Amino acid sequence: MANPRKPSRLPMPGLFDSLDDFNEGSESDFSIIPDKKMDEIARKYRREQPAIDELPEFQASDRIFFMSFGSGSSGNCSYIGDRSGGFLIDAGVEVAKVVEGLRLNGISMDRVAGICLTHDHGDHIRDVYPLLRRYRHLRVYCTPKTLNGILRRHNVSRRIKDYHSPVYKEFPFRIGNFEVTPFEVMHDGADNAGFFITNGDCRFAVATDLGCISERVDHYMRLANYIMIEANYDLRMLREGRYPEYLKARIEASNGHLDNRVAAEFLASIYTPQLRNIFLCHLSNDNNSPDRALRAVSSALAGIGVPRIGNGMIDLKDTAIPTDEPRVHLVALPRFDPSPLYTLGV
């Protein structure tokens, strides 16, 4: 079968990246600081983690909850949690909308432990510091390069460092009852990550803003039974649209965004009966529509024999269809509005 994916390339500098790495905090910067002062800095900027063999056993939940507050170039933010609490993925949506969306579903901000940032573009980090300033118990989980990109590109208070818990790709870390593994994603930010999130039997893979299906995206998506993946544009709409040619080229690049056809054919190629929910995210307002994205993926799934495709809320149980028959929920996340609170693991 023909490979539906764009060719994966080595990471390229982003549209706004300089060729020199931002290297704040190098060894030479601290060489003249006394040891006592260094200890104070370490306590201030680094939360100590216990040894891995001392961590308590997971308290896996029978229910996992997922909600999006906006998904697209105007702002991205979502929530994943269990009965004990959870965390946000990105912070590009105004604080009031996030807080109210959670409140309406019975979730208070004291149950939100932190924010995982995928990369440093404004539509993913615009409201991170307002959230931190208002809710000071929150932590920011992102790679050091992502944090440096935020400070370099955006007018963000350097006090964001006080809340930073550095994470590294392919090294799992914990937030509450969740284990989170960042992985490489091809996009033109300073340092781009997807997240593979587990809690009990729930395996949730998140990859938003990606130009191609790289090897690591393929690996983690195949492990997941819940997926959030970009379906940014319809190729014909993009090429015939009003965008300037340089912007069209950036979107189509292997470190740009993902089109409906590539996302659809990839999802069909990795489908197994264990895949329960697919959330399509970051749909373009100018070069796509929810109907087009849903139709592309639905057609690809139907083409491999998936007879039942739900909308994320309806019950797919049907005594007329054997329980081992393929079935899946498919949702296009709203661009500007909160989604319903989806219950996973049922």
**Strands (E) located in the chain:** 64-70, 77-81, 86-89, 112-116, 139-142, 164-166, 173-175, 178-184, 193-199, 202-207, 226-230, 277-281, 308-310, 327-332, 342-344
Q: What's the rounded Cα separation, in Å, for the pair 64 and 84?
A: 10
| Res. 148: pLDDT tops 70 | yes
More confident residue, 173 or 8: 173
Residue 308: per-residue pLDDT: 82
Can you tell me the mean pLDDT for 328-337? 95
Chain segment 66-88, per-residue pLDDT in tens: 999 999 999 999 999 999 999 99
Strand, coil or helix: what is 111? helix
Residue 339: per-residue pLDDT: 96
The rounded mean pLDDT for the chain is 83
Domain boundaries 61-344, CATH class:
alpha beta
Residue 5: per-residue pLDDT: 55
Chain segment 177-212, per-residue pLDDT in tens: 999 999 999 998 889 999 999 999 999 999 999 999
Q: What's the rounded Cα separation, in Å, for the pair 218 and 315?
A: 29
Residue 327: per-residue pLDDT: 80
Q: What's the rounded Cα separation, in Å, for the pair 91 and 84?
A: 21
Confidence grade of residue 14 (pLDDT, cut at 50, 70, 90)? very low
| Res. 28: pLDDT tops 70 | no
Residues 6 or more apart whose Cβ sits within 8 Å of residue 269: 1, 4
Strand, coil or helix: what is 134? helix
List Cα–Cα distances, 7 to 186, 195, 260, in angstroms.
Answer: 11, 22, 16
| Res. 11: pLDDT tops 70 | no
Q: What is the DSSP string of 17-72?
A: --SSPP-TT-GGGGTTS-HHHHHHHHHHH------GGGSPPP---S-EEEEEEE-S
Chain segment 272-311, per-residue pLDDT in tens: 999 999 999 999 999 999 999 999 999 999 999 987 888 8
Residue 311: per-residue pLDDT: 83
Are 85 and 78 spatial neighbours (Cβ–Cβ below 8 Å)? no
Are 336 and 72 spatial neighbours (Cβ–Cβ below 8 Å)? yes
Q: What's the rounded Cα separation, in Å, for the pair 310 and 203?
A: 19
| Res. 7: pLDDT tops 70 | no
